[in-house]
Amino acid sequence: MKTLVTGGAGFIGGNFVHYQLKHHPDDTIICLDALTYAGNMGTLKGVLTNPKFSFVQASIADREAVYAIFEQEKPDTVVNFAAESHVDRSIEDPGLFLQTNIMGTGVLLDACRKFGVGRFHQVSTDEVYGDLPLERTDLFFTEETPLHTSSPYSASKAAADLLALAYFRTFKLPVTVSRCSNNYGPYHFPEKLIPLMIINALSDKALPVYGKGENIRDWLYVEDHCSAIDLIIRGGRVGEVYNIGGHNERTNLQVVKTILHALNKPESLIRFVTDRPGHDLRYAIDATKIKQELGWAPETTFDTGIQTTIQWYLNNEDWWRDVLDGSYRAYYERMYHNR
- Is residue 216 part of the contact set for ligand NAD (CB under 6 A)? no
Strands (E), 48-145: 53-57, 77-80, 119-125
Burial code (b: 16+ CB inside 10 Å, e: under 16) for 153-165 equals: bbbbbbbbbbbbb
Burial group, residue 321, by CB count within 10 angstroms (0-12, 13-18, 19+): exposed
Burial code (b: 16+ CB inside 10 Å, e: under 16) for 267-297 equals: eebbeeeeeeeeebbbbbbbbebbbeebebe
Contact positions with ligand NAD (CB under 6 A) in 17-56: 33-36, 38-39
Q: Answer yes or no: are the C-beta atoms of 158 and 103 closer than 8 Å.
A: no
59 binds, among ligand TYD, ligand NAD, none (CB under 5 to 8 A by kind): ligand NAD
Reduced to 3 states, what is the DSSP secondary structure of residue 323? helix
Q: Which range touches ligand TYD (CB under 6 A), out of 64-72, 76-84, 134-142, 207-215?
A: 207-215
- Is residue 217 part of the contact set for ligand TYD (CB under 6 A)? yes
Nearer to ligand TYD, 69 or 87 (CB): 87
- Is residue 200 part of the contact set for ligand TYD (CB under 6 A)? no
Contact pattern for ligand TYD over residues 269 through 298, marking x by CB under 6 A: -------x----------------------
252 binds, among ligand TYD, ligand NAD, none (CB under 5 to 8 A by kind): ligand TYD
77 binds, among ligand TYD, ligand NAD, none (CB under 5 to 8 A by kind): none
Single out the residue of 305, 288, 298 nearest to residue 242, CA to CA: 288
In the set 84, 127, 131, 223, the catalytic residue is: 127
Among 189, 221, 242, 320, binds ligand NAD (CB under 6 A): 189
Reduced to 3 states, what is the DSSP secondary structure of residue 138? coil
Contact positions with ligand TYD (CB under 6 A) in 132-191: 182
Is 153 annotated as catalytic? yes
Q: How far is the CB of 26 from ligand NAD (least distance, A)?
A: 25
Beta bridge partners of 209: 272
Burial code (b: 16+ CB inside 10 Å, e: under 16) for 219-236 equals: bbbbbbbbbbbbbbbeeb
Please work out the total of residues on this chain that contact ligand TYD, with binding judged by CB under 6 A. 12
Q: Which range touches ligand NAD (CB under 6 A), out of 7-15, 20-28, 292-300, 310-318?
A: 7-15
In the set 126, 191, 224, 230, the catalytic residue is: 126
Cα–Cα distance for residue pair 85/192, rounded to 1 Å: 10
201 binds, among ligand NAD, ligand TYD, none (CB under 5 to 8 A by kind): none
Q: Answer yes or no: are the C-beta atoms of 198 and 310 closer than 8 Å.
A: yes
Q: How far is the CB of 130 from ligand TYD (least distance, A)?
A: 12
Q: Hey, CA dihedral for 97, 89, 122, 243, is it positive or negative? A: negative
Q: Answer yes or no: are the C-beta atoms of 107 and 60 closer than 8 Å.
A: yes
By beta carbon distance, the residue nearest ligand NAD is: 10
Cα–Cα distance for residue pair 39/195, rounded to 1 Å: 15
User: Any idea how long the chain is?
Assistant: 339
Q: Answer yes or no: are the C-beta atoms of 136 and 191 closer than 8 Å.
A: no
Q: Which range touches ligand TYD (CB under 6 A), out of 29-37, 204-212, 233-241, 311-319?
A: 204-212
Binding site for ligand NAD (CB under 6 A): 6-7, 9-13, 33-36, 38-39, 59-61, 81-85, 100, 104, 123, 125, 157, 180, 182-183, 189
Question: What are the catalytic residues?
Answer: 126-127, 153
Binding site for ligand TYD (CB under 6 A): 87, 182, 192-193, 196, 208-210, 215, 217, 252, 276
